[in-house]
Amino acid sequence: MNSRRSVLLVSAQTLGAIIAGCLAVAVLPAVAVVPWPTHRVAPLSTVVEPAASPQLRACPGPLLSLGANAAAATSATSYGSSTTTVAVDPASARVLTSKLADPGNRRASTDGQPSAISVESGAVSFGLLAGASSQVANLETARGFAAASCVEPSLDSWLVGGSTSVGRTTLVSLANPSDVAATVDLAIAGEEGDVLSQAARGILVPPRTRRIIPLSGLAPNLESPVIHVTSSGGPVAATLQYTSLVGLVPAGVEMIGPTAAPATTQFLPGFLVTELAATSVVGEAHEGTDFPALRLYSPSTEAVQVSVGLLSESGGGGTVLDVTLQPGRVSDIPLGNVQPGSYTVRVQANAPVVAAARAVTGTLATLDASGTTGSAPSLDVGWMVAPLPLLRNQAVAVPAGPSPVLHLMNPGTTAAAVTVTVSGTTQTLDVPPGMGSTVSVGADTPVLLAGTEGLYGSVSFAGVGQVAGFGVQPPGPQDSPIRVYPR
């Protein structure tokens, strides 16, 4: 009897479990189709505006030479002083100037030092601070005219120009105007490809100091150097100083600022052809480094097809040539047999490239029938780099120099009307689409531009035995607001 009661009890329990299970199975689909209540809460966040930084530029200081100090043959010593012009709008804004330490230059206290110019944050609008320096060299080993704009410090920049072949000296200038030490790496490429140098890595530039690195110590006998400068810690203002000798004859000096970063299209306004070049055909192979040329380099690992156009800024015809860049190698493309004048060099490629153009002026001394020198040598070399597109309003500092000219290039499809203000006098310069325009400006003069957004600009100088130029470089992008999510 007890056994039967136990069996019935277990059966009843089992039946109840089965029924409960069936009910659960029946209810689950119904629950699945009933929407669950939802409640979404956006995470707490806030938008933080970065503190505005003072606008800052580093100016190159006087020209330098190696070997002037016999006790330190690899130290660079200045000869003479450079002059610096500053442009700022409004003119009442206070511009702060501070000297940078220049260790190794025993004449720094006499000839001057590189400097930094700055304005407090908010004192002037973005792009309305500029500076530029110039100097005339007249030595037995260095002669000519050099000019360069003051450079905004950067963590990444490209230097295109110079040479370390026989008779040529190129110095890499690394200026650190910040309060933080900078560690700099130089990646060097040339006509035969990459140049490996352990000494080009980990270069320490102390705060508020300029260091000079002779390029020949890192890459000797290089005709066509291109240098990619990267920095960690503090940003640096990187430039080149170039001196050329042909035999024993001084053949020019130049200061060379950074060129635009690699891109598939580059514009170089203000390339000067002062006389017919020695080459007979544009693009013909040519030896040496003292002829008009376009230097091109692509970091691509494959061959790059490039179309180079020379567009006359006077409205005349132009020249177009197609070239192929070999992977990792720098090419100097001769630009000869071109009528004297000013041109915009347009570079279009199927992969990013960097570019700079070399101008030359003057001839070697000629000899008369008796074999004596008939005229004094008057040679010079200038390098024009590729600038970045201008802002809507832009300040340009024009330093002292022979016959300065402002060049503007309009890559757009509609004409641009640019307001140019020089020493309080305003004029309107029309820049046709796809063409360039020029206007003469005063030496040692600030220039203010309005309506230049998207245009490209440069300043050139030309005189007897003198040529130089620099791109008008706008400041880099401002820091953007960031959204912060507190933990």
What tens digit of pLDDT does each residue of 203-235 get?
999 999 999 999 999 999 999 999 999 999 999
Q: What is the pLDDT of residue 65?
A: 92
Mean pLDDT value of segment 16-35: 47
Higher pLDDT, 455 or 37: 455
Measured CA distances, 58 to 26, 131, 238, 367 (Å): 79, 8, 9, 44
Q: What is the pLDDT of residue 290?
A: 65
Q: What is the pLDDT of residue 95?
A: 96
Q: What is the pLDDT of residue 79?
A: 94
The full DSSP string for 167-222 is: TEEEEEEEEE-SSS-EEEEEEEEETTEEE--GGGSSEEE-TTEEEEEEGGGTSTT-
Assess whether pLDDT exceeds 50 at residue 85: yes
What tens digit of pLDDT does each residue of 109-161 get?
999 999 999 999 889 998 999 999 999 999 988 999 999 999 999 999 999 99
Least confident of 80-89, 124-133, 354-363: 354-363
Least confident of 126-130, 182-186, 257-261, 289-293: 289-293
Looking at the chain, the number of H-run helices and the number of E-run strands are: 2, 34
Assess whether pLDDT exceeds 50 at residue 6: no
Q: What is the pLDDT of residue 68?
A: 57
Assess whether pLDDT exceeds 80 at residue 20: no
Give 371's pLDDT tier (boundaries 50, 70, 90).
very low
Could you tell me which of 401, 406, 430, 312 has the C-alpha nearest to residue 85?
Answer: 401
Could you tell me which of 224, 222, 230, 57 has the C-alpha nearest to residue 148?
Answer: 57
Q: What is the pLDDT of residue 378?
A: 75
Strands 380-385 vs 445-450: parallel, antiparallel or unpaired: unpaired
Whole-number Å distance between alpha carbons of 474 and 387: 8
Q: What is the pLDDT of residue 191?
A: 96
Nearest-5° Cα angle at 293, 246 to 247: 5
Higher pLDDT, 332 or 104: 332
Whole-number Å distance between alpha carbons of 158 and 261: 6
Q: What is the pLDDT of residue 327?
A: 95
Mean pLDDT: which of 43-52, 61-70, 242-251, 361-370 is highest? Answer: 242-251
Neighbouring residues of 329: CB distance < 8 A, sequence distance ≥ 6 = 189, 190, 191, 192, 193, 297
Q: What is the pLDDT of residue 463?
A: 92
Assess whether pLDDT exceeds 80 at residue 354: yes
The residue extents of the domains of the chain are 55-365+378-471
Query: What rounded mean pLDDT belongs to the chain?
Result: 85
What tens digit of pLDDT does each residue of 414-443 get?
999 999 999 889 999 999 999 999 999 999
What tens digit of pLDDT does each residue of 269-278 get?
999 987 644 4
Assess whether pLDDT exceeds 90 at residue 194: yes
Q: What is the pLDDT of residue 448?
A: 97
Nearest-5° Cα angle at 479, 474 to 482: 155
Could you tell me which of 297, 319, 323 has the C-alpha nearest to residue 310?
Answer: 319
Q: What is the pLDDT of residue 472?
A: 97
Rounded to an integer, what is the distance from CA 386 to the centroid of its chain?
7
Q: Residue 16 burial by CB count (10 A; 0-12/13-18/19+): exposed, middle or buried?
A: exposed
Assess whether pLDDT exceeds 60 at residue 11: no
Q: What is the pTM of this model?
A: 0.85
Tell me which H or E stretch contains 451. Answer: none
Whole-number Å distance between alpha carbons of 399 and 130: 11
Give 5's pLDDT tier (boundaries 50, 70, 90).
very low
